[in-house]
Structure 1
Amino acid sequence: MWDKAYVINLNERVERWEWMQGQLASAGVEAERFPAISIQDLAELPPPPALRQFLLEVDGDGSGFERKLWATWACMQSHLAVLRLAREQGLASVLILEDDCEFEPFSRAVLCRIKRQLPYLGLDLLYLGGTLKKGGSCSRLSSNVHAVSRVRLAHAYVVSASVYGRILAEAPESGLPIDWYYSEILLPSIRAGISTPQLAFQRLDDVSSIEGVARARKFRWRRFWSRAFWRLRYSF
């Protein structure tokens, strides 16, 4: 399904890497830790003006703006560094995980199914989880994969070598966060999919390395019943 997997993890977030060991084991995923690029590493590579302008328009110039700007840029650089490494290693595909990735308990079973389906799909990118955005398409490709054209979040996804070069060339110049670049620029022109059901979510009640605050839990009945259905179906 992928040649290698990496978990992006800041050196100071030791507790997240330790927590991820359990997540990886439960999903049956073998992955290596990839030291995340920190804000301090980017003293000579500041965020581009276009990214600053984008975040100003989206979030406004609040007290934590500068930190979020630099953290967003560092996040992109970490993802790009993994892709450069994958290209140097000659990997046909790589799974990129962020260290707040929480797998569903049925992930191992669904991943086994997806592995059998992927050779016939010819995907350039596969999300294991993400937020489907309005205006994008979503259509069935196989029993466990849907084609998508607009997805936000980049905490768990597989990238094919077919798009390594394009991402590395375009993303830094896009003026967008890495997940927005994928959603708004890359996905509409490649063959992308998302696992069905979704297998990976961003961990809640944990301080985000970008936002600097914990993501609050919001109860949604539709998501609750959906996850309950999939857990019942694939847990046996």
Structure 2
Amino acid sequence: MFAVDAVLCISLHERTDRRDMLLGQFHALGLPIEFVLVERDAEDPERGCYHSHQRCAQLAIERGLQRVLILEDDATFQPPTPAHLRRINRFLRLRNPGVFYLGGILGRMWRIPWPGVVRCRVTGCHAYMLSAAACRRVLGMPFAGEAIDSVFAKRFKGYAAFPMLSEQQPEGQVSSDLAAARSARLQGDAKVKDAAFWQRNRERQHESVRRNWDRTLLMRWL
């Protein structure tokens, strides 16, 4: 499957339901999945999430991994076609991007001269890869009150599979402490990521690459 040295999945100790769901979703991945079990940060779930992703980066460095796939336990997976998989793996081996997303919540996408891969600005860290160099950078970015996915979007040059291969389980079907905390912080203005939300996000991919043709023309993938 993907050209990674390991697959790590973040999960709260008590969420056996989500781990079972994740294993079902990613059965086709064909790679062993190691669960990184973490404790709930009741005071600040956003901080707890941030530190959990840093823990995965730390494990990758300690084990000498060159590339790691990091999942959250509410991620879904749509297996790529064999041709798409070959293109992604060739890109990973030749370009070794710091961050490569299997899916995300769209900001922007634009084409690069590589079929099946795009440059992107997305949020969402439910399914992404980190290079060894990126893992070291992540450990040097202490939590400062900002969500991990927003930090990545600002500080890393992002690439993604196109079309995307992963979403999150729709809210309402799977409970999320982090989603509840974000909604409370934004006084109920946070978007509900239900099935309709993910459907719109999926459809916007092609619209985004058409709209951002100028970024391709200006070689904004360099």
Cα separation, partners in 2 of 1:108 and 1:3, compared to 1, 3 Å? farther
Instruction: Report matched runs for 1:200-215 at 5 Å.
Output: 200-204=166-170, 205-212=173-180, 215=193
Conserved? CA contact 2:96–2:131, under 8 Å: no
Cα separation, partners in 2 of 1:127 and 1:168, compared to 1, 3 Å? same
Secondary structure at the aligned position of 1:30 is classed as coil
Conserved? CA contact 2:11–2:38, under 8 Å: yes
Residue ranges of structure 2 left out of the alignment (5+ in a row): 184-191, 207-222
Choose which of 2, 8, 11 in structure 2 pairs with 1:9: 11
Secondary structure at the aligned position of 2:103 is classed as coil
Output the TM-score relative to the length of structure 1.
0.72
**In the comparison of the two structures, how many residue pairs are matched?**
190
Residue ranges of structure 1 left out of the alignment (5+ in a row): 41-66, 228-236
* Equivalent residue number for residue 120 of structure 1: 94
Quote the offset at 1:158 in angstroms.
Answer: 0.3
* Equivalent residue number for residue 214 of structure 2: none
Conserved? CA contact 1:206–1:215, under 8 Å: no
Conserved? CA contact 1:121–1:141, under 8 Å: no
Quote the offset at 1:23 in angstroms.
Answer: 1.4
Secondary structure at the aligned position of 1:34 is classed as strand
Instruction: Report matched runs for 1:61-72 at 5 Å.
Output: 70-72=44-46
Quote the offset at 1:111 in angstroms.
Answer: 3.0
Instruction: Report matched runs for 1:81-160 at 5 Å.
Output: 81-104=55-78, 106-107=79-80, 109=82, 110-133=84-107, 136=108, 138-148=110-120, 150-160=121-131
CA-atom RMSD, angstroms?
Answer: 2.5
Quote the offset at 1:36 in angstroms.
Answer: 2.3
1:186-228: CA deviations, max 9, x gaps? 12xx4x310011001011121113123984322656846979x
Conserved? CA contact 2:13–2:39, under 8 Å: no
Quote the offset at 1:141 in angstroms.
Answer: 4.0
Conserved? CA contact 2:67–2:132, under 8 Å: yes
Amino acid at match of 2:129: V
Cα separation, partners in 2 of 1:25 and 1:224, compared to 1, 3 Å? same
Conserved? CA contact 2:102–2:164, under 8 Å: yes
Conserved? CA contact 1:128–1:195, under 8 Å: yes
Choose which of 130, 149, 162 in structure 2 pairs with 1:179: 149
1:110-149: CA deviations, max 9, x gaps? 334411332222311100001221xx5623241111122x
Cα separation, partners in 2 of 1:138 and 1:17, compared to 1, 3 Å? same
Output the TM-score relative to the length of structure 2.
0.76
Secondary structure at the aligned position of 1:151 is classed as strand
Distance 1:141 1:72 in 2: 36
Secondary structure at the aligned position of 2:91 is classed as helix
Quote the offset at 1:108 in angstroms.
Answer: 6.1
Conserved? CA contact 2:75–2:168, under 8 Å: yes
1:62-93: CA deviations, max 9, x gaps? xxxxx6xx111100111001111111111111
1:163 aligns with 2:163: no
Distance 1:221 1:155 in 2: 18
Q: Aligned residues: percent identity? A: 29
